[in-house]
C-alpha cells in the first residue's frame, strides 16, 4: 500500500469535511427530532389501545416506529446510476453505469449502519470495480417526508485492469467513501432517493507481464435508489 502527498491531503480533507458536517448538524438535531412528523412514529391507527384486540396492540407496539430508517428498521434498496472516474482513471477509461445492493439498519433516530455491494464496468470491460462497503449513516433532519442524510465509511475495493486481451491484473484494496443523500418516503414501507458519494481507493503496485502497474484511484458515484423497509 502506498500513499503520496495528494492522496494524504484528500483523505484528510474528506475526513475533515465529514466531521464538520456531522458536528454542525448534530448541534441542531436535538430540537429537530422532537418535531418529527406523525408519519415517522404514528402506527396509523388512532383508536385507543384498550379498545383494540390484544394481538393488534402487540403488533402495533412492535411495528409503531418501523418506517424507513427509523430505529430497529431494516431497509433494503437497489441502486443504479452513473460512475464518474477521476484523475488517472478518467484519462484512460470511460465513465459508465454502476449498480449496487444496499442495506441500512436503523440504530436510532439519528444514526444507522450502512452496507453495500456494488459493481461497475468501464471501456468494454478494460476496467471494472467491485466494492463491499460499510459506513455510518447520519439522518441530518426531517422535512415532511424527506430525509437528508450523510454517510461516511470504509470498505474493500477490487479493481481489475485489462493488460492484454487474454490477461488482467487486480487486487483487493482498502478505501474511504463519503457523501450526502436524500430519501423520500412513498409509503410506510417504500422509499425512493438519490446519493452522491466520493470514493478514495488506496493505491498499490502490481507486477504484470508488461511491467509494474499502479492500481487504485478516485471516483464519484451518483446513484438513484428505490427500496423497502421491513
CB 216 within 8 A of CB 204: yes
Helix (H, G, I), strand (E, B) or coil at 74: strand
- Dist CA 11 CA 213 (whole Å): 22
CB 205 within 8 A of CB 181: no
Question: Each residue of 22-60: b (16+ CB within 10 Å) or e?
Answer: beebeeebeebeeeeeeebeebeeeeeeeeeeeeeeeee
What does the block give as the cell for 145?
A: 417526508
**Which residues are bridge partners to 136 per DSSP?**
113, 152
- Dist CA 25 CA 208 (whole Å): 47
CB 191 within 8 A of CB 226: yes
Q: Kindly report, residue by residue over 112-171, the tens digit of the pLDDT.
A: 999 999 999 999 999 999 999 999 999 998 888 899 999 999 999 999 999 988 889 999
What does the block give as the cell for 115?
A: 452496507
Q: How confident is the model at residue 210 (pLDDT cuts 50, 70, 90)?
A: confident
Of all helices (H) and strands (E), which one includes residue 6? helix 5-34
- Cβ atoms < 10 Å from Cβ of 123: 14
Q: Kindly report, residue by residue over 3-44, the tens digit of the pLDDT.
A: 444 455 455 555 555 554 544 444 444 444 455 544 454 444
All structural domains of the chain:
5-40+66-229 (2.40.160.20)
More confident residue, 58 or 201: 201
Q: What are phi and psi of 17, to 5 degrees?
A: -65, -40
What pLDDT sits at residue 139? 94
CB 97 within 8 A of CB 119: no
Amino acid at each position: 500500500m502506498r500513499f503520496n502527498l495528494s492522496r494524504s491531503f484528500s483523505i484528510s480533507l474528506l475526513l475533515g469535511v465529514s466531521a464538520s458536517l456531522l458536528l454542525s448538524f448534530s448541534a441542531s438535531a436535538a430540537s429537530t427530532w422532537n418535531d418529527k412528523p406523525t408519519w415517522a412514529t404514528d402506527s396509523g391507527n388512532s383508536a385507543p389501545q384498550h379498545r383494540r384486540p390484544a394481538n393488534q396492540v402487540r403488533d402495533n407496539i412492535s411495528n409503531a416506529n418501523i418506517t424507513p430508517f427509523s430505529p430497529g428498521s431494516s431497509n433494503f434498496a437497489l441502486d443504479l446510476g452513473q460512475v464518474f472516474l477521476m484523475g488517472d482513471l478518467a484519462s484512460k477509461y470511460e465513465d459508465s453505469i454502476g449498480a449496487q445492493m444496499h442495506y441500512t439498519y436503523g440504530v436510532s433516530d439519528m444514526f444507522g449502519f450502512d452496507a453495500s455491494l456494488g459493481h461497475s464496468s468501464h471501456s468494454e470491460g478494460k476496467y471494472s470495480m467491485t466494492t463491499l462497503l460499510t459506513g455510518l449513516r447520519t439522518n441530518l433532519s426531517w422535512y415532511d417526508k424527506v430525509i437528508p442524510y450523510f454517510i461516511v465509511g470504509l470498505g474493500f475495493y477490487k479493481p481489475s485492469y485489462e493488460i492484454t486481451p487474454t490477461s488482467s491484473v487486480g487486487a483487493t484494496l482498502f478505501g474511504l467513501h463519503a457523501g450526502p443523500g436524500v430519501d423520500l418516503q412513498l409509503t410506510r414501507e417504500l422509499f425512493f432517493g438519490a446519493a452522491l458519494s466520493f470514493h478514495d481507493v488506496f493505491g498499490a503496485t502490481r507486477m504484470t507481464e508488461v511491467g509494474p502497474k499502479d492500481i487504485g484511484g478516485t471516483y464519484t458515484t451518483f446513484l438513484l435508489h428505490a427500496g423497502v423497509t421491513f
